[in-house]
Structure formats: structure tokens, C-alpha cells
Amino acid sequence: MEQLSVTKAFEGELHRYKHSSSSTSTDMVFAVYLPPQAKNHSVPVLYWLSGLTCTDENFTQKASAFRMAAKLGLAIVCPDTSPRGLELPGEHDSYDFGSGAGFYVDATQPPWSGHYRMYSYVADELPELIEKTFPVSDKKAISGHSMGGHGALVIYLRNPGAYTSVSAFSPIVHPSKVPWGQKAFQNYLGADKDLWATYDATLLIQENGANTPILIDQGDSDSFLEEQLQPNHFEAACARANVPLTLNLRAGYDHSYYFISSFIDNHLEFHARKLMG
């Protein structure tokens, strides 16, 4: 790995690295915040998945998460949202597909299938690398925002027992039924709706349930709420599957990092309770 930077924050350190990924066959960048407790013993990890157009830096610079992470003794890992630098045809044509919009799936359709394998990268390759390289334990939780909330829910639900807990801000909970998800799935996965279902949190909950309570925060002034997010579908699926869900509809909040930074401490404490028993 190549270290790109290291920055001290709340007596811990924020590191950025670039490494060659076997999942994406490209160089990938990720950030990891190590709280001060990591100097003395291994610490649990929260994986944060960002949304459309983002990189690892959106969360690290805007979420205001490190004060609480330092207090709790919680590492936070932030991967990128897609491979970079490939210059595939159409890769940069729109904000909601291609560069910055990997959707946390393993693409099956060319030209994306050779590189856009963000599910395998986040679910398998990155945790193995983190646990080998840094002073962290094998206890991990997962969270994310928007497209990253979709990714967090799907990775948690497809890997029962691997994560102690899951939460999300403004997640795309039923991508098979909304324009963002349909565009991504059609292009990355093709026309196979059964394959789409394996990356749809609402359908996964209906099929398999979940092992632990789920936490979601959603702003009621989010401009994407009605067309793209539709948390009512996931809420109904959780009710049918008897999965405990806390869905906080926050009055006046939108889709931005102002919203995330307002409630990120609640999510970190939620995960810390699970991670630390």
C-alpha cells in the first residue's frame, strides 16, 4: 500500500492509502480513522459507505464523526464509491452511473464486469486488508448514506453474522423499484430481475429477515424522498418479517452532510453498544 496522508484528529489519526485491488483490477483509495485507543490495543471497526458522486473524503471532512469515534474507541473505514481512472465508454456521462456510482454490486455486464466489483471489494477484500494491516479486531459494523445506505443494508443482509449491526442515512432501500437503482442495475447487472433482487434490501428482508435491529435516519425535507428513497417499502418489509427497525423521520432535514453530521453521534453510539457488548 502507498500512504497518501496521515492527519491527527482528537488524539487519533486519519490515514489515507492507495492499493492495488484484486476485486476491481485497479488502484483503490480508502481512509481509516484510528482512535487513540488503537495505540494500546485492537479496536472494532465501522465501515462507512458513501453515496453518489462521493469519495472517501466526503465523510472524513464533513460528517464530524471523529470526536465521538475517539471517545468510543471506534475505528472508521471509508472506501471510495467506484473504481477510478478507467475511462470506460460512458463512465463519466452522468452523476448516477459509472464513476462515483458503483452501487456496491458486482457487475456482470461488459465493459463494467471487469472492474466494477464494489460488492466484493467492500464485503471481502477490504475487511481482510484492514484486519491484516491495522490494530483492529474482527468485530465490525456497517453504515452508509444514500447509495451507501443501500450498500450497507445489502452487505449486512447478505452476510449474516459478519457484522454486529447496520444503520443508514437516507438509504435507497428498494433499488429495483426506483430510477437510480433501475438505471444502475440494468447497466451493471443486465435484465435478470432475480439477480437484481440479491442487491435489493427490501426484497432481502422479505426473503431472509435479519439478525439484529436496524437503525435508519431520514430527513422529511429530502428532495429525493418520494421518488428515489421510499423508506416505507423497507419499513413494511421489516414489519412483515418481524425485524426490529427504528426509522427516524427527521423534520426539516434534507439529504446533505448537514443532516448526517447532526445525527452521526447517535449512529456511532448505536454501533458501539453492539460492537463492545
Quick check: helix, strand or coil at residue 145? strand
Assess whether 146 carries a catalytic annotation. Answer: yes
Assess whether 222 carries a catalytic annotation. Answer: yes
244, 199 in Cβ contact below 8 A? Answer: no
Candidate list 21, 82, 146, 170, residue with the active-site label = 146
Q: Which amino acid is at 137?
A: S
C-alpha–C-alpha distance, residues 190 and 206, integer Å: 23
Quick check: helix, strand or coil at residue 153? helix
Candidate list 115, 150, 174, 255, residue with the active-site label = 255
C-alpha–C-alpha distance, residues 235 and 239, integer Å: 6
Candidate list 222, 233, 267, 271, residue with the active-site label = 222
Assess whether 21 carries a catalytic annotation. Answer: no
Output the CA torsion sign for 32, 36, 38, 43.
Answer: negative
Other CB atoms closer than 10 Å to residue 20's CB: what's the count? 11
The residues annotated as belonging to the active site are 146, 222, 255
